[in-house]
Amino acid sequence: MSKFRTIWTTEDRYVEVIDQKILPHELITRKLLTYKDAETAIKDMTVRGAPLIGATAAYGIYLAVRELVEKQLDGSFLDAAFSDLRASRPTAVNLFWALDKMRDALDNSEGDFLQTAWDTANQIVEDDVETCRMIGVHGLPFIEEISKRKKGDVVNILTHCNAGMLGCIEWGTITSPIYQAIEKGIKVHVWVDETRPRNQGSNLTCYELTRHNVPHTLIVDNAGGHLMQHGFVDMVIVGTDRTTRNGDVANKIGTYLKALAANDNNIPFYVALPSTTLDMTIENGFDIPIEERNQDEVRYMIGKQANGEIGSVLICPETTQASNYGFDVTPARLVTKIITERGVCNASEEGLLELFPEYK
């Protein structure tokens, strides 16, 4: 797999990210010099995707520590950094997990505060790479099983939003089993939900799959049920921003509808879950904070215009108001299996505790 990363450190020990707001039209990077740069990048979705949000926040704390040391600021500056980054987006639990990990590391640092922040943020990134690779290892058998049943014919996979490498660091969660299947010579085709309103599917997942020569077809969000009814989908696999103790899954708005359609058509519905997205402190999905974003993300479509310029167009009357919920919750009963870096389990407390006994 030709790998590229979504976030990396520079020679002068700053941080650089891909600006995902303008993919697939332009590949532009942004350098993060301060924790406020990291906060803005998360808020405006320059970077997005639960694991990548966590990694960016971790580096944001490193940048805050660097600024505190270089400008000899007091601890309130770092407290503000934690508070601002914590408030950047509410649903993806990776953000809070990463910030807690940075806080623990700094609280227990016995040496160079700045080096501790640097090392911890880098470790979060490297751990995600291996976590996603292992999700692929454990998810691959599901694709292999369908391929065998179809005597080597194409395995048709439907996915929603972007839970690929652009939502993570390298492998991605839902794309890891796909990339590993293709490396084994299994024929795969991916139905890509465009995923309104920000079109992470058409903009990001299609970009990734194109780069990796993965056969795919872009569909409108509302087509998935029809395709499932007519036998064009063999499995559905999605990511998650937060999965609770009982196995309920928060993910991009529209995921729940795909789960309902898959269940109605006896199609397996898998969730690719890195343990950094697990929230065992919350009993069920209805307690997950659901982000509401600016209504203009719905009222306008952003894209490349005929003249080659990237712009946005209003798609409703000027006076029309819009609702913009960013996520929904798929009940555990609609999830066939959860695929984690430690293995596969049922979407239940019992299933999750089998893989993660530390939460007993």
Ligand X SMILES: CSC[C@H]1O[C@H](OP(=O)(O)O)[C@H](O)[C@@H]1O
Nearer to ligand X by Cβ, of 132 and 280: the residue is 132
Nearer to ligand X by Cβ, of 146 and 168: the residue is 168
| 3 state SS of 42 | helix
The CB-of-53 to ligand X minimum distance in angstroms stands at: 6
Q: How far apart are CA 146 and CA 341, in angstroms?
A: 21
Q: How far apart are CA 159 and CA 181, in angstroms?
A: 16
Q: How far apart are CA 43 and CA 206, in angstroms?
A: 23
Assigned token pair, 8? 């990396």
What backbone torsions phi and psi does residue 159 show, to the nearest 5 degrees?
-135, 160
Is 142 within 8 Å of 336 (Cβ atoms)?
no
Annotated binding site: 48-50, 89, 200, 251-252
Is 163 within 8 Å of 49 (Cβ atoms)?
yes
Taking CB positions, which residue lies at the least distance from ligand X? 167
H-type alpha helices, the chain = 35-43, 50-71, 75-86, 93-107, 113-149, 175-183, 200, 206-211, 224-229, 255-264, 296-299, 349-355
Q: Which run of H or E residues covers position 350?
A: helix 349-355
Nearer to ligand X by Cβ, of 49 and 351: the residue is 49
The CB-of-208 to ligand X minimum distance in angstroms stands at: 12
For the annotated catalytic residues, the residue numbers are 241
Chain residues binding ligand X by CB under 6 A are 48-51, 161, 163, 167-168, 173, 200, 238-239, 241, 251-252, 326
Is 118 within 8 Å of 152 (Cβ atoms)?
no
The CB-of-7 to ligand X minimum distance in angstroms stands at: 13
307: buried, middle or exposed (CB in 10 Å: 19+, 13-18, 0-12)? exposed
| 3 state SS of 275 | helix
The CB-of-347 to ligand X minimum distance in angstroms stands at: 16
Identify the sign of the CA torsion 100, 101, 102, 107: positive
Nearer to ligand X by Cβ, of 105 and 207: the residue is 207
The CB-of-49 to ligand X minimum distance in angstroms stands at: 4
Nearer to ligand X by Cβ, of 136 and 167: the residue is 167
Nearer to ligand X by Cβ, of 147 and 276: the residue is 276
Provide DSSP, 168-236. SSSS-SSHHHHHHHHHTT--EEEEEE--TTTTHIIIIIHHHHHHTT--EEEE-GGGHHHHHHTT--SEE
Rg (CA), the chain: 20
Annotated binding site for substrate: 48-50, 89, 200, 251-252
Q: How far apart are CA 68 and CA 91, in angstroms?
A: 29
